[in-house]
Amino acid sequence: MRQSQILNLCILAIILLSLPSCQKVIQVDLNSVDPRLVIEANISDQPGPYIVKLSRTVNFDEDNIFPAVTAARIIISSNTGQLDTLSETSAGIYKTHSLQGVPGTTYNLSVLAGENTYQSTGAMNLPVDIDTLIVQNTTGGPGSGGPGAGGKNKQVKVLFKDPAGFVNFYRLVMKVNDSVLNSIQVTTDQFRDGENFTVTMRMEKSEIHPGDSVRVYLQNIDKKMYDYFRALSSEGGPMQQSGTPSNPPNNLTGGALGYFNVYAITSKAIKVP
C-alpha cells in the first residue's frame, strides 16, 4: 500500500471517530402516570372503631404529600350478617361504628370513591399467644453500632407455639415506648406446622435501651397479606405512593394500592433490663 493511501485511510478514521455516535434518546415522562387510590384498612379482633384511610398517589417529582380522598362511601360487611357504613371523621379518615372483629369470620370491604368501586375480602384467623419475650445483649452484626461504637446492642426474641393442623401466616410488630418500629417482619408455619417458634425482632440500629418499655404484637394474618408484607419487606420498607415505582401485589380490586388487613392479634410486653 502506498504512503498516500495509508495517509488517506488515517484521515478517514479520524473523521469517523470524531462523528457523534448514533444513539436513540428515550424521553421518559415521569408525570404521565394517573393518580391511583391508596387504601389502608385494618380490622382486628380487638375492640373498634376500626379505621380506613384513603389517599391518592402523587407524581414522581412531586413532594411526598399524599392528598386525602374525601366523600367516599365505605361499607364493611361479614359472612355472619354484620354491616357497618363508615363515617368520615377527618379528611380521608373513615371509622366504623359498631363492627366487632371475630376470629373465624370473613369480612368484605367496599369503597366507592368518585365513580369507581374497589373491593376486598379477608378472613380472620384464630389468635396465637406469645409465650415469652427475651431481651439479650448481642455483639457484631446489624444494629451493633459498628466499628468504634462498642459493638454492643440489645435484641428482642419472641417465643410462641404454633397450633398444629392450621396453616398460619404471622406478622410481628414491635413498639418501643410510644413508637412503633418501621421494620416489616413476617413468618409462616407452612413447613413448620405445630413447632415452637423463636423470632428475633429485626432492628437496623440500636433502638432499645435499658429502661425502655417494649411490646411485641403477633398478628395472625391471611396468605394474601403475608405475600403483600413479604414483598414490601423485600423492597425495603413502606409502600411507595409515587406513580412510578412498583408496588407489591395486594388483595384489592379495581387497581387500588394498599391493603385490607384482617387479623387476630395478641401481644406481650417487657421492660428492657
Q: CATH number of the domain that 169 lies in?
A: 2.60.40
pLDDT at 44 (0 to 100): 98
Query: Residue 181: how many CA atoms within 13 Å on its side-chain side?
Result: 23
Asked whether residue 155 falls in the same domain as residue 225, the answer is: yes
Q: How many domains does the chain have?
A: 2
Assess contact for 31 and 24: CB atoms under 8 A.
no
Q: Which domain holds residue 191?
A: 130-235+265-271
Instruction: Tell me the pTM.
Output: 0.80
Asked whether residue 100 falls in the same domain as residue 71, the answer is: yes
pLDDT at 48 (0 to 100): 93
pLDDT at 125 (0 to 100): 95
In a domain, residue 201? The reply is yes
In a domain, residue 186? The reply is yes
The helix/strand/coil state of 10 is helix
pLDDT at 124 (0 to 100): 97
Asked whether the bond before 49 is cis by omega within 30 degrees of 0, the reply is: yes
pLDDT at 15 (0 to 100): 38
In a domain, residue 22? The reply is no
Asked whether residue 139 falls in the same domain as residue 186, the answer is: yes
pLDDT at 46 (0 to 100): 97
Spatial CB neighbours of 19, under 8 Å, sequence gap ≥ 6 = none
In a domain, residue 11? The reply is no
Asked whether residue 60 falls in the same domain as residue 116, the answer is: yes
pLDDT at 5 (0 to 100): 45
pLDDT in tens, the chain (273 residues): 544 444 444 444 443 344 444 444 434 344 446 789 999 999 999 999 999 999 999 765 555 678 999 999 999 999 999 999 999 999 999 999 999 999 999 999 999 999 999 999 999 999 999 999 999 988 755 444 443 344 568 999 999 999 999 999 999 999 999 999 888 999 999 999 999 999 999 886 667 899 999 999 999 999 999 999 999 887 655 544 443 345 688 999 999 999 999 999 999 999 999
In a domain, residue 176? The reply is yes
